[in-house]
Chain A
Amino acid sequence: MATVSEPLPSQSGKKPSSAKEWWRRTSSNRAAYMYLIPAAIVMGLITFYPMLYQVWMSFTDYNVKNIRQDSPPPNPVGFQNYLDILPDKITVLGREIDIPGTGKLAAKIPNFSFTRVLAFNLVWTFLNVPIHVALGIMIALLLNTPGLWGKKIYRAIYVLPMVIPWLVIATIWRNMFDQDYGSINLFLSTIGGLFGIPAEVFRIRWMESITPPFQWLFPGMPLPLSFFAMMITNMWVGWPFMCIVATGALQSIPKDLYEAASIDGANGWQQFRSITGPLLRPAMIPAAMVGIIITFNLFNCIFFMSGGGPLRQTQILVTTAYDLVNAQRLYGSAAAFCVIIFLVLLGLTLFTNRITRATERYDV
């Protein structure tokens, strides 16, 4: 922005017109940068500087000892934080911190394996989103049935899960999945009572049970009941968005396509396979990609419902990072963990972008 003093005095003495012209020519550039300055300052200070600082932190043993303002700076530890996190075995993440006067403080996450957390995170994402998409499309088709009564009312109601804040949704569902008083168990035992099933059967320990109910589904990975409880919650929130995207896409399909198809004798399923399906695809794929990124980082659902439990079996990457900061106060390890998260997300985004772009070329 030092443009004002740019033209040299000798130059401007000889050719005043060219300097003036240059000044006029660059006025648009100057305005562009001027409008950028506030954002650049704010983001530079509070977004980019902390991010760079985080990279530095990830190479130190920054912990609770270094937090007080008069405390000594953290020690550099090289790649130790990364080496602690990444090895492919079940370990204890963290260390004991020796605090003068107070003694040793254990700051550890037991039973930790990065590969397992990452794998769980991916399973969580890729089991959830396809269900949202499928439900969304089916319900959109249902509501698009010509002559169905009360469409408007249904549509108004079906929007509700999307407009309620996630924090509130997650706390409510946590409450609903309570073992003794939660509405899910109470409801199930009420229904079961009609068939003479004793109420004790339905005291399901949704959040605490550690026996994986569908072990055959993923032999290598224990998916506890809390996983399925959270999946139900996320389903409740997730399908309406997909349904609305699908409805929008359905509206734009020309009706004569169906008429032509039925003249040719195509039945409902054939029509879906060769008209509806292909024409929904360009709308649904980007929506699914957005869903994947959101679900992958769904802190609110995991943290407020299961808290990553039982036995840390439902921790995802972001909840583990928060655990390192909030509970263990290992800021250095947390920084390294977040750098890794960043790289994982970069990979995931590039992957989803590639798929989205590939489908953009899909001509309709």
Chain B
Amino acid sequence: MSEATSSIRSVAPQASQKASKGWSEQDKRLPLGKQLILQLVCLFITFTVLFPIMWIVSLSLDPRDIARPTEFRLIPPGASLDAYRRVLTQPTANPVTFVELALNQFKLAGGVALLAILVGILASYSFSRFEYRGRRALMFTVVTVLMLPAIATVAPLFVLLNRVNIEFGALSFNLRNSLWGVGIAIMASTLPFAIWNLKGYLDTVPRELEEAARIDGASPNQMFLRIILPLAAPALAVTGFLAFNTAWTEFVMSWQFLTNPKDFTLAMSLWNMVGPFSGDTPWSVFAAMALMVALPVTIVYLLLQKWIVGGLTIGSVK
């Protein structure tokens, strides 16, 4: 499932950091000819990696007011932020601004992430630090659920959430047709991931501190609050971010559940700009939108690398 992807991806930075330190001291000189050939290969790979990114940046900055590119350019002829301005005011045909869309997506992602780590850390503490009947069986069920892609439960969630009408004072809405419902649906697969991931981390935290605290008469609650919680901070940040990342680009549930444009999310709008409903959306606007959707999580991903390392490596990939 998608969470698994991100957890696996998050392992990456550590290895690369290790790598950049590892051999540099022992670097020997490479014969010039060989060096040049290898540089050519490296540059070619760099080109393939950067090609789509440069294409999309170039599209988004294109100053000519054209719907489709007419020629191949990786560097735009001049630069204009017009496309970004259009995205900010009204990215799709629906009467919503980018800020509204982003706010919806942020509520969704932030809510899911917070709840997932809050409930997840409690359960993972129980799984990691206690021995009781049914522990293994319960953990096994969590892992089994993890294996299932989120799409595989869209039908029952849709049907069940559709039955619930919320009447709360002046508020009255159908749970399915709301961000709350989408959040619940995302949570259904995010929470097992959070539990598994946090448990993997807690398993690697040495127990000496707790043993010492236990001898001093600390209760499980005190140990949780004073020892486990502070030690788990990096793992919480990472797990929270990965849950946030998943919900930030969640498409399947939102697309299936939501009908009111005021509730629409970034992911849905991005698809509206390039998919079968795109009409004649200029590609420069799509490109600007794609970059604006990707940038926040991509930057945080790159910034969190070090923490992602500490929090995740051990738990996720054996």
Q: List residues of chain A with CB under 8 Å of any chain B CB.
A: 27-29, 31-33, 35-36, 38-40, 42-43, 46-51, 53-54, 57, 62, 67, 69, 139, 142-152, 154-169, 171-176, 180-181, 183, 186-187, 189-190, 236, 240-241, 244-245, 247-248, 250-251, 255, 286-287, 290, 293-294, 297, 299-300, 304, 307, 318, 321-322, 324-326, 331, 334-335, 338, 341-342, 345-346, 349, 356
Q: Give the dominant DSSP class at B's interface.
A: helix
Inter-chain contacts of B248 with A (CB < 8 A):
165
Residues of chain B at interface, number, CB under 8 A: 115
CA distance in complex: A334, B151 (Å): 10
CA distance in complex: A39, B23 (Å): 45
A-B contact pairs, 28 of them (CB 8 A): A40-B123, A43-B191, A46-B157, A47-B188, A48-B145, A50-B156, A57-B159, A143-B42, A148-B38, A155-B16, A156-B16, A158-B46, A163-B302, A166-B2, A167-B249, A167-B251, A175-B274, A175-B286, A181-B70, A186-B71, A244-B19, A245-B11, A321-B152, A338-B151, A338-B153, A341-B149, A345-B147, A349-B147
Inter-chain contacts of B318 with A (CB < 8 A):
286, 356
Of A36, A146, A236, which contacts B138 at CB under 8 A? A36
Of A158, A241, A304, A338, which contacts B155 at CB under 8 A? A338
| Interface core residue of B45, B135, B273 (most chain A CB under 10 Å) | B45
Of B45, B115, B129, B144, which contacts A139 at CB under 8 A? B45
Inter-chain contacts of A322 with B (CB < 8 A):
151, 154, 252
Q: Which residue on A lies nearest to B251, using beta carbons?
A: A167
| Given A158-B45, A287-B317: A168 in contact with B12 (beta carbons within 8 A) | no
Contacting pair A245 B15 (CB below 8 A): yes
Q: Which residue on B lies nearest to A67, using beta carbons?
A: B162
| Given A36-B138, A149-B39: A31 in contact with B19 (beta carbons within 8 A) | no
Contacting pair A164 B294 (CB below 8 A): yes
**In the complex, what's the smallest C-beta–C-beta distance from A309 to chain B, in angstroms?**
11
Q: Give the dominant DSSP class at A's interface.
A: helix
Inter-chain contacts of A147 with B (CB < 8 A):
27-30, 35
Contacting pair B195 A248 (CB below 8 A): no
**In the complex, what's the smallest C-beta–C-beta distance from B139 to chain A, in angstroms?**
11
- Ordered nearest first, which 9 A-B pairs have the shortest CB separation? A248-B15, A32-B130, A39-B123, A147-B30, A186-B72, A35-B126, A31-B220, A50-B156, A181-B68
CA distance in complex: A174, B191 (Å): 31
**In the complex, what's the smallest C-beta–C-beta distance from B8 to chain A, in angstroms?**
5
CA distance in complex: A236, B49 (Å): 7
Contacting pair A171 B271 (CB below 8 A): yes
Inter-chain contacts of A50 with B (CB < 8 A):
153, 156-157, 160, 188
CA distance in complex: A31, B221 (Å): 8
CA distance in complex: A94, B184 (Å): 29
**In the complex, what's the smallest C-beta–C-beta distance from A224 to chain B, in angstroms?**
18
Q: Which residue on B lies nearest to A248, using beta carbons?
A: B15
**In the complex, what's the smallest C-beta–C-beta distance from A132 to chain B, in angstroms?**
12
Contacting pair A168 B294 (CB below 8 A): yes
Of B23, B69, B123, B270, which contacts A35 at CB under 8 A? B123
Identify 18 new A-B residue pairs, CB closer than 8 A, beyond the known A149-B39, A176-B55, A248-B15.
Answer: A27-B219, A38-B122, A46-B187, A47-B188, A150-B42, A152-B20, A155-B16, A157-B49, A160-B49, A171-B271, A171-B273, A175-B286, A186-B69, A251-B23, A294-B5, A294-B8, A307-B276, A341-B152
Inter-chain contacts of A250 with B (CB < 8 A):
19
